[in-house]
Amino acid sequence: MSDNKCTIMELHCLERARSEPRNRGKWIAQAERWHELERAQNSWRLQKRPLQQSMQTGPMATQPNATNTPKQQG
């Protein structure tokens, strides 16, 4: 289930909690379950991502060009 569907279901449960005061606890618990499912799915996606994709090198991580460095006179 996509994150969007989890969010929609969470919001639906919260709306039901407002409209049904007698069953408020039940709907709040359901909303919390949908919220936790979304968090678990996001965590799983981040862990599933390949290491190279999650750790891209930035411009500061590269070595300076050897041809641009001044030579020492000895």
Give the global pTM: 0.59
In this predicted model, what pLDDT tens digit does every residue of 2-22 receive, in sequence order? 668 999 999 999 999 999 999
Residue 49 is predicted with a pLDDT of 72
Give dist(CA 40, CA 43) in Å, integer.
Answer: 5
pLDDT at 66 over 80: no
Share of the chain above pLDDT 90, in %: 49
Residue 48 is predicted with a pLDDT of 76
Closest of 40, 12, 37 to residue 27, by C-alpha: 12
